[in-house]
Amino acid sequence: MTGDQLADLRAEGATASGEKDDVVQVQPSFTNLGPAMLEYYGEPVFRVTIPEGTTAVEVSFDCQPYTSDDEWDQWNAKWGEPGAREYACLATETPKGVKNLYNFGLRIDDVVADASGAVSVRLAGDPNSENDSAKIVINPTNAGGGNGDGGTGGGDGGPLPVTGASTGLYAGIGGLLLAAGIGGYLLAKRRRTRFVA
């Protein structure tokens, strides 16, 4: 981001339903609404709080256990480690109109209606704080529960995928590339983005 051009990141939540001991998949995300491109940012831009009554058993390869009291260390982090209550995730170069997805598998330990967690984006200079947070809702009683505080919603049919390969495959490949360094990580992350129509 240069000059007066800033990136407005919109947090987007997710919903899922299941029974006790089910593992449900959620994909919280953020979209860069522009006007500026989000350049690679080595700080924890995307935060996730796991919903009550669930355990994260599958975690996106670019997220690590993290709370505000922790020291941020992207080089020696336990990327993709399950079992934490809070996570922080990296964001790489993100042009305007691109959605970044983060994959989590949540085991339902206790069935709770509207069990909620949170997602948020934290970027210095973001011009619109009203769309910086949203919710992850498990077993929602309201169909729109995952939109939470995410601000201006869609209605345009959602994002269009760049490729048809599975995100699970990308997660596996990305984990290997992350160990090889940021260069490999950047490539894997770019292949997981979606363009918003």
> Where do the domains of the chain lie?
7-142+162-190
Among 11-15, 85-89, 160-164, the minimum mean pLDDT is found in 160-164
- The Cβ of residue 101 has, within 10 Å, a number of other Cβ atoms equal to 18
Q: What are 41-51's pLDDT values in tens digits?
A: 788 999 999 99
Band of pLDDT at residue 13, cut at 50, 70 and 90: very high
Q: What is the mean pLDDT of residues 60-81?
A: 89
**More confident: 119 or 188:** 119
Backbone angles phi, psi at 117, to 5 degrees: -120, -170
Rounded to whole angstroms, how far apart are CA atoms 17 and 51?
A: 12
Q: What is the mean pLDDT of residues 46-65?
A: 97
pLDDT for the residue 144: 62
Look up residue 186 and give its two tokens. Answer: 């950047």
User: In the CATH scheme, what is the code of domain 7-142+162-190?
Assistant: 2.60.40.10
CA distances from 39 to 6, 121, 131, 163 (A): 11, 15, 20, 22
Backbone angles phi, psi at 11, to 5 degrees: -75, 140
Band of pLDDT at residue 53, cut at 50, 70 and 90: very high
Band of pLDDT at residue 58, cut at 50, 70 and 90: very high
Among 107-116, 128-137, 161-170, the minimum mean pLDDT is found in 161-170
Is the whole model's pTM more than 0.85, yes or no?
no
Region of 180 please: left (phi>0), alpha (psi -120 to 50) or beta: alpha
Give 3-state DSSP helix, strand, coil % of the chain, rounded to 5: 15, 40, 45
